[in-house]
Structure 1
């Protein structure tokens, strides 16, 4: 499915790559360390949306201190970066993470290090699941950082207990209009 999406979206991906290359000089992609299935670390991909060296400096710092995590919210963005974030176009490279088996299309939100190390014992099974590009957090408040309190509220556990093709298809279908409308972005 991810390979088909990559093929279908390749014209859009190419246009985004050209725009990022032209308006946000530097690397096209940012790799953010996340905790994936069975607690394995992986680098989640996204298009760079910040101006200047912000992402480069952040990634260099994270590589030296992987137990730390800094949210990109404070980073400087221009109009292009803002649009890519608003419509989640910056997240399309995560299809490569799906192809590599590090993520799925639908699943739990991939946690940054600082959140993964603080997951309470009753939710440790969450770290055994394959994270997804969309899921409960995307439908209930797109792009919001999920707090540990929200995790404890049970949304993740409910999802893990009821994993099914039908539920995943529902999440995919509900995600599309939210992304197109650019709603719920924080």
Structure 2
């Protein structure tokens, strides 16, 4: 258990550091931006209590908000992502898998399950993020285009990270 906590703490530091120092400066005319720090929320162990998932998502979003000088936009999007994560795991995983402390990684889960988990979660996160950021329907086409393109870019980066740290299946 202590090993899982230390590994997740290191993952948090690395992903937030990469988001703040690298991915904050990568974009395309304010149309496409990458937010791979949400991979930390995706990779929390499945047996993590719901309250703790919400708390970790809140603190993750608050940390990114403090570096981005946004007023809770990332925090709200991360909490929405945490709600999606809890709902998705409840309807797709069996009770034994949910209660174990299995990290939902590409090598340990079904590829289709992992891709849908990452894609729809990223779509939820980016929808909340961009709609709260613009807070207007005046340029809705631009906002929707930003949501879709940023979602695709973020999913590609997160899949590259997952392939980079791919682990063979431990389950039978």
Greater fraction strand: 1
TM-score by length of 1: 0.24
Greater fraction helix: 2
Q: RCO (CA 8 Å, sep 6+): is it higher in 1 or 2?
A: 2
TM-score by length of 2: 0.26
